[in-house]
Amino acid sequence: MKRLRNWAGRTGPALAGFAALAVVMLVAAGNPMPLQRAKALVFDTYQRMAPWQGPTNSRVAVVDIDEESIRQSGQWPWPRADLATLTRRLGEAGAQVVAYDIVFSEADRTSPEAVAARYPESPLAPTLLALPSHDRLFVESFDKVPVVVGHFFLEPGEGGRDVEPRVNFTIAGTLPQRDVATYASGLLPLPLIERAAAGIGFVSLQGDDDGIVRRVPLVAIQRGKLVPGLALEAVRVALNAGSPNLLASDGTGETLASPGAAVAIRVGSAEIPVTDAGEMWVHFPAAPQGETLPAWHIISGDITDHELKDAVAGKVVFVGGSAEGLQDLVATPLSQSIAGVNLHAAATEQILAGHFLKRPDWAGALEGLLAVLAGAGLALVLPRLGAARGALAAFGLIGSSALGSWLAFTRAGYLLDLVVPVLAILAVYAVQTVAAFAREERQRRFIHAAFDRYLSPELVRQIAADPGKLELGGEERDMSVMMCDIRGFSRISEHYSPRQLIEFLIAFLTPMSAILLAHRATLDKYIGDAILAFWNAPLDDPDHPVHAARAALAMIEETRALNAAMAQQETVPWPGEVMIGIGLNAGLCCVGNMGSRERLSYTLIGDPVNVASRLEGMTKLYGVPIIVGEALAVRLADFALVEIDRVKVVGRDAPMAIFALLGDERLRKDASFASLCAACAAVLEAYRAQAWPQALATLERAEPQFVRFGIARLGALFAERIANFAVNPPGGDWDGTYQATVK
């Protein structure tokens, strides 16, 4: 049994790590929605950090039906005669292809024949019927430039008709019906427009479950036939290519992809990697690619033929709308609202530039292998490394995974997911850390059981945490130190018996100690009515200056509350208005078990301790409840601190600035406190410059502020000093430092 326990103790953490790794890999195999979203967010972050820069000479332009175009040209839909003008001008300017992200499924209601039909009795009806149809004018403009028109897909029961692509796809492998979107019918342009167009492609964009569009679909299936998306069809027409060729996984020899899944689409000289669903990952640019021209500029002639030629010559021009009323706005990783036409344009630009984001068929296998190797390796070595080196190893593996994924994205355009490897590493680290903690907790309980009867509970806790603490000596630490004392305690002692005095001290020290412990202090000792406390030992406390300041402020408030509450009772002797003084300082101290080998005391020594004691004594002189030394004040920038003097304390040669702590961050932001700080600074400046009349005048003006903040004694002290120095100047070498003469 003992051997079994020893074996379990040695191998238990590793087994726990392997169990955690197995759970992560099972979850990854199921690919639940939260995991999918986490992966998508990683890729979104990459896109935001490194958006696509695009080629210098863009091959794509966008004609935007924006809000201003709606205001200038009227409510949508516009007369097709205006769109005929738009198409004609684009063609004459040298546009290579014009692709409409618009479905012209209904006849133009503003066309002359439509108006004549509404008013058959009008004498203008015959004249209107003799005019050309707007739809006909629109179609005739197609002679100037190849036009690709859009269509929507419909679900069963929504009507529509079959889509007839301009050219049929060829397929290498099996038709990928499992993953590629399948539709019953389409909402198509008018037959007149459809027949005249050089190409037709669907414009539907489908976001992920979080509503963000990350991919543009290039193909869909309608009645067992592949049909192209708008971007793919625009590229086909621009390249004057023949039938697109879809490469399926079982037609390419790729064994790691799903059978019958889409792998790539070839059109002309371009080969486009796609997802299993026939979608192209878009590497979004920081701003829309190419020229973006307001539609009304072209229709109204506001842009000259020469300017238009410079903007669109030789380019694929997409026409679509960003106006909110057109309801064609989508969210992307880089924008919460962007026109859908910009996504088709970005996809087309990247196809023509040969720039693609790829998630190859081996990506999932590689990610799983990395997760297993990293997780298993960490599970084996972590129990031997200890806490610090174990954390370093875990975060090193996470950093390596992130760096590899980032380099794959930026250098090769690969979308390699780091979520699963990182989850594996974190799960192993967390489980093994918990297991190690549980093991150490068992050891602590053993020590408690062995020593509780012989040593103080606090010392037992320290020994349980680190048995080396039984040795004499200490360590140097940066620490915050507090000395708190009841003012006039000798006077109070005269009026009470020893028992009453103890009752008073218990009533006072108990809540004060609770405040200190709540603010992570270590109580060093009680010296009669005084308390010595410190922070950042034995446990690390990176925010020890803040905790010390908050504790001091809370103790002042608690003293006021005790004065109010104790005045209403008679069970505990309470000497009227009790006041305390607190000195705070920070610096390097030696802390640890000190004393003799027979009797140890966990305490600290060092100059900051002596200074804190001197500062506490000075609170009576300056009439402020809390004085903070310069070494600590510089770390409390957010607190309400005001400099009150520069002093040399007893037993110390170097002068230092001292500060009154009056409140926390809220008071620090108060305009009245800013006014007090300015007043104190002005007084000190004049005082140190030996400008006694100016110092006194400034002090008199600031008296209401000193009174408001309860530090009137400070003002009186400086008034007394200034009056004395005015009669007995301190000399030219005086630098404004006050030499304390008492502790």
Domains of the chain, residue spans:
2-47+361-446, 53-353, 471-636
CA distance 715 to 712: 5
Over the chain, what is the mean pLDDT? 87
pLDDT on residue 391: 82
Please report, rounded to a whole number, the percentage of residues in the chain having pLDDT higher than 70. 91
**pLDDT-derived band of residue 573, with 50, 70 and 90 as boundaries?**
confident
- Using one digit for the tens of pLDDT, what is the confidence trace for 103-137? 999 988 888 887 778 777 777 777 777 788 899 99
Burial class (CB in 10 A: 0-12, 13-18, 19+), 234: buried
**pLDDT-derived band of residue 4, with 50, 70 and 90 as boundaries?**
very low
Query: For the CA atoms of the chain, what is the radius of gyration?
Result: 40
**Any idea which of 68-77, 83-92, 589-598 has the lowest mean pLDDT?**
589-598
CA distance 384 to 694: 70
Q: Which amino acid is at 74?
A: G
- Say which residues have a Cβ less than 8 Å from residue 14's Cβ, sequence separation at least 6: 379, 380, 383, 432
CB 678 within 8 A of CB 702: no
CB 344 within 8 A of CB 231: yes
Enclosing H/E stretch for 585? strand 580-595
pLDDT on residue 718: 94
What are the structure tokens assigned to 580, written together? Answer: 């305390």
Enclosing H/E stretch for 400? helix 363-407
- Using one digit for the tens of pLDDT, what is the confidence trace for 436-493? 777 767 666 655 554 443 334 554 566 566 655 544 557 899 999 999 999 988 888 8
CB atoms within 10 A of CB 35: 17
- Using one digit for the tens of pLDDT, what is the confidence trace for 146-181? 999 999 998 887 888 889 999 999 999 889 988 899
pLDDT on residue 706: 93
**pLDDT-derived band of residue 572, with 50, 70 and 90 as boundaries?**
confident
pLDDT on residue 7: 43
Enclosing H/E stretch for 660? strand 656-663
- Using one digit for the tens of pLDDT, what is the confidence trace for 207-242? 888 889 999 999 999 988 999 999 999 999 999 999
CATH superfamily of 471-636: Nucleotide cyclase, GGDEF domain (3.30.70.1230)
**Any idea which of 199-203, 542-546, 591-595, 669-673 has the lowest mean pLDDT?**
591-595
Among the listed residues 447, 483, 446, 487, the one whose alpha carbon sits nearest the alpha carbon of residue 463: 447
pLDDT on residue 449: 53
SS3 state at 303: coil
pLDDT on residue 256: 55
pLDDT on residue 254: 58
Give just the sign of the alpha carbon dihedral 728, 732, 736, 737. negative
- Using one digit for the tens of pLDDT, what is the confidence trace for 394-427? 888 889 988 999 999 999 999 998 889 989 888 8
Pairing of strands 329-332, 245-248: unpaired
CA distance 704 to 712: 9
CB 616 within 8 A of CB 742: no
Place of tokens 């790829």: 358
CA distance 352 to 316: 10
pLDDT on residue 454: 35
CA distance 569 to 115: 96
Give the 3-state DSSP-derived string for 232-261, with helices as H, strands as E and coil as C. HHHHHHHHCCCCCEEEEHHHCCCCCCCCCC
DSSP character string of 507-535: HHHHHHHHHHHHTT-EEEEEETTEEEEEE
CB atoms within 10 A of CB 174: 14
- Say which residues have a Cβ less than 8 Å from residue 627's Cβ, sequence separation at least 6: 581, 582, 583, 584, 615, 616, 618, 619, 644, 658, 659, 660, 661
- Using one digit for the tens of pLDDT, what is the confidence trace for 493-529? 888 888 999 999 999 999 999 999 899 998 888 998 9
- Using one digit for the tens of pLDDT, what is the confidence trace for 331-388? 999 888 889 999 999 999 999 999 999 988 888 888 889 888 888 888 888 877 776 7
The DSSP secondary-structure symbol of 411 reads I
**Any idea which of 18-32, 444-458, 662-676 has the lowest mean pLDDT?**
444-458
What are the structure tokens assigned to 491, written together? Answer: 């006077």
CB 84 within 8 A of CB 135: no
CA distance 151 to 230: 9
Q: Give pairs for 568-577: CB < 8 Å, separation 24+.
A: 572/503, 572/504, 572/507, 573/496, 573/500, 573/501, 573/503, 573/504, 574/504, 574/507, 575/492, 575/495, 575/496, 575/504
pLDDT on residue 128: 74
- Does pLDDT of 283 surpass 80? yes
Q: Give pairs for 437-446: CB < 8 Å, separation 24+.
A: 439/9, 439/12, 439/13
Give just the sign of the alpha carbon dihedral 541, 547, 549, 551. negative
